[in-house]
A and B are shown apart, each in its own frame.
Chain A
Amino acid sequence: KAGVTQTPRYLIKTRGQQVTLSCSPISGHRSVSWYQQTPGQGLQFLFEYFSETQRNKGNFPGRFSGRQFSNSRSEMNVSTLELGDSALYLCASSDRVSYNSPLHFGNGTRLTVT
């Protein structure tokens, strides 16, 4: 099975711009979660989508949004970028069949805001 695929791998944007990140989960996985990782803050949960519905949401401002499509692919959008948004953005998928289902991470998108 192919793993979780995130595109693009690297992005450089300017403050005030917006950005869209894409994630294709492992085939058959209906849950997609997004995390932000910075050296000082560790892994911070953004949101989780399951069957096109947002299931959980972290404590991020409304500039961060996401969606999931019928094929389980997910996109995350960040509007009005700030310097502090520079981070590694990780997508993880799960089959969520039970509490024992782990998360499987993609390679991430490294976003640099200048």
Chain B
Amino acid sequence: QKEVEQNSGPLSVPEGAIASLNCTYSDRVSQSFFWYRQYSGKSPELIMSIYSNGDKEDGRFTAQLNKASQYVSLLIRDSQPSDSATYLCAVNFNKFYFGSGTKLNVKP
């Protein structure tokens, strides 16, 4: 079983819609959770971090964490074509574990 699981997608949403990306993890002692965005041919870029249960908002991005259910999600409001990328979920328990990423396509 992989430590971090993500749906590979692609997830297609129209411009202006809400994109919802999900991630589940296997270790109950995980302390911190991160979302990275990776454009094709580029390196991952940190966009959100979350450590406590609940929601954390930053601009159009909201990260949601539920430790009891072992999932973390990322909501992107008012999706733009420039949001089209692969989104990587990362979980830190002693070392970082990355999901395989969800490819998001935002259609104009």
Contact = CB atoms under 8 A, between A and B. Distances in A.
Contacts, number: 46
Nearest to A35: B98
A105 B32 CA distance: 17
B44 interface: yes
Interface residues of A toward B: which range? 10 to 19
Given A45-B96, A100-B51, A102-B49, A90 B43 contact: yes
B31 to A, nearest CB: 4
Q: Report, as a range, how many residues of chain B touch the other chain.
A: 20 to 34
A78 B22 CA distance: 35
A48 B95 contact: yes
Interface in A57-100: 88, 90, 99-100
Interface string B77-100: 000000000001010101111111
Interface of A: 33, 35, 42-43, 45, 48, 55-56, 88, 90, 99-100, 102-108
Interface of B: 31-32, 34, 36, 42-46, 49, 51, 88, 90, 92, 94-101
